[in-house]
Amino acid sequence: EETILELVDVKKHYPVLGGVLRREVNSVKALDGVSLAIKRGECLGIVGESGCGKTTTAKAVIRLHDATSGAIFFLPKGQETPVDIALLSARQLKKKNLRHRLQMVFQDPTTSMNPRMLVKHIIAEPIIEGESLTSLELEDRVVTLLKLVGLDRSHLYRYPHEFSGGQRQRIAIARAIATNPECLVLDEPTSALDVSVQAQILNLLQGLRKKMGLTYLFVTHHLLVVKYMADRIAVMYLGKIVELATTETLFENTRHPYTWALLSGIPDTKPDKTRQRVLLKGDVPSPLDPPSGCRFHTRCPFAIATCLKTEPSLTDIGGGHMVACHRHGDTQALFRQYKDAT
Ligand code: SF4
């Protein structure tokens, strides 16, 4: 399978003033060396608590902000060599016709929509940036897109406020797919919606992915959502990936204590297999001054001396299952012991 998108050691550091006199320049390490390859047509989920770097990753990919260092290779359909989009300016992206191949859907569609624009123009906007169509052709295109997302012609001449949250997200999705993109970056696309509406939007997204051969980078803090949507999942903690595996492996053969703690928070539907909720100590530490060694050691129930000193590297433990934990070989037994003891 072809890799459509590859992040190589991507870092995003923000300078901040610190110290007593606020004169020292520190940096917040929002992303601290993220490497990730996404295959064409797959849905890769990124999960973690807020502040772990998942949205920063999404924004770096879509070039809403520049990465401090690292490469982001994108392989457009029909091309043989990937382009490092981290090096391109917004103007160059547009010139190389890449801007429209990667699109983003945000959590709150109202923030990305002009409230004074009619639905027709909201959806048409990205199309007319790249193509010149007659107004009839344009209207036909917009109606086709509306139908793809479960709306119709009767919605063309209405304003965003006339719609429900779920319908507005459908409009945002129609706009995102209007330019026939290859990859959608979805940042918590259903988190602002009611549970019943969430399922409809997730089904719509799954259907569109198959129909249009899209690749998804799906960012969420919601594990059941990502379990439903993703083929593979990357778990992030304090700007780094700590575990990456196929969805099934991540849930059934969890190796990283942070992943295990996150999963333990999910209510289990099977009554005979109750999960033990693991209460993590404290909050996520500040990315301004991340803990030494393994960044999770301040909250990990299984930390040993090495964890405080040496940073574990993300290692393939077989079949593409990547884990960054010194004790990955023992964690399954440790999880069982923990469960028996509590
Ligand atoms: Fe816990 Fe140590 Fe593994 Fe980090 S490396 S997750 S502190 S056991």
What pLDDT is stored for residue 21 in this prediction?
67
| Together in a domain, 181 and 63 | yes
Please check whether residue 235 lies inside any domain of the structure: no
d(CA 289, CA 254): 28
Helix 165-177 to helix 195-212 angle (10° resolution) is 20
| Together in a domain, 270 and 331 | yes
Q: Which of 185, 215, 230 is the last residue of a domain?
A: 230
Residue ranges of alpha helices (H) inside 62-187 are 90-95, 119-130, 135-148, 165-177
| Together in a domain, 335 and 221 | no
Beta-bridge mates of residue 217: 44, 185
Q: What is the pTM of this model?
A: 0.92
Q: Which of 304, 317, 328, 330 to mutate to test the pocket of ligand 1 (most atoms within 8 A of CB)?
A: 304
pLDDT tens, position by position, 41-57: 999 999 998 888 999 99
Q: Which amino acid is at 239?
A: G
Please check whether residue 239 lies inside any domain of the structure: no
DSSP 22: T
Please check whether residue 285 lies inside any domain of the structure: yes
Ligand 1 center–CA 61 separation, angstroms: 29
| Together in a domain, 200 and 300 | no
pLDDT tens, position by position, 154-165: 999 999 999 999
| Together in a domain, 201 and 297 | no
Q: What is the CATH number of the domain that holds 76?
A: 3.40.50.300
pLDDT tens, position by position, 49-88: 888 899 999 999 888 888 889 999 999 998 999 999 988 8
d(CA 196, CA 164): 13
Please check whether residue 117 lies inside any domain of the structure: yes
Q: For ligand 1, which residues put their CB under 6 angstroms from it?
A: 257, 294, 296-297, 300, 302-303, 307, 312, 325-327
| Together in a domain, 166 and 285 | no
Q: How many domains does the chain have?
A: 2
Ligand 1 center–CA 198 separation, angstroms: 35
Q: Which atom of ligand 1 is nearest to the CA of 257?
A: 6
| Together in a domain, 292 and 206 | no
Ligand 1 center–CA 324 separation, angstroms: 8
Residue ranges of alpha helices (H) inside 33-118 are 54-61, 90-95
| Together in a domain, 94 and 14 | yes
Per-residue pLDDT, averaged over 282-304, amounts to 90
Q: Which of 235, 295, 296, 330 to mutate to test the pocket of ligand 1 (most atoms within 8 A of CB)?
A: 296
Please check whether residue 237 lies inside any domain of the structure: no
Per-residue pLDDT, averaged over 276-299, amounts to 84
**Strand bridging mode 215-220 / 43-47:** parallel
Q: Which of 195, 230, 265 is the last residue of a domain?
A: 230
How large is the ipTM? 0.99
Q: Which atom of ligand 1 is nearest to the CA of 308?
A: 7
pLDDT tens, position by position, 210-267: 999 999 999 999 999 999 999 999 999 999 999 999 999 999 999 999 999 999 877 6
What pLDDT is stored for residue 268 in this prediction?
55
Handedness of CA 259, 261, 267, 269 (dihedral sign): positive
Residues 6+ apart with CB under 8 A from 77: 101, 182
| Together in a domain, 104 and 174 | yes
Please check whether residue 95 lies inside any domain of the structure: yes
Tokens 């569109």 sit on residue: 208
Q: Which of 197, 230, 263 is the last residue of a domain?
A: 230
d(CA 268, CA 330): 24
Please check whether residue 313 lies inside any domain of the structure: yes
| Together in a domain, 86 and 37 | yes
Residue 235, SS3 per DSSP: strand
Note down the domain range covering 173.
3-230
Ligand 1 center–CA 188 separation, angstroms: 28
Please check whether residue 244 lies inside any domain of the structure: no
| Together in a domain, 333 and 224 | no
Q: Which atom of ligand 1 is nearest to the CA of 306?
A: 2
Cβ-contact 152, 143 below 8 angstroms: yes
CA 45 from centroid of its chain's CA atoms: 6
| Together in a domain, 43 and 88 | yes
pLDDT at 272 > cutoff 50: no
Instruction: Name which of 257, 263, 259 is nearest 236 in CA terms.
Output: 259
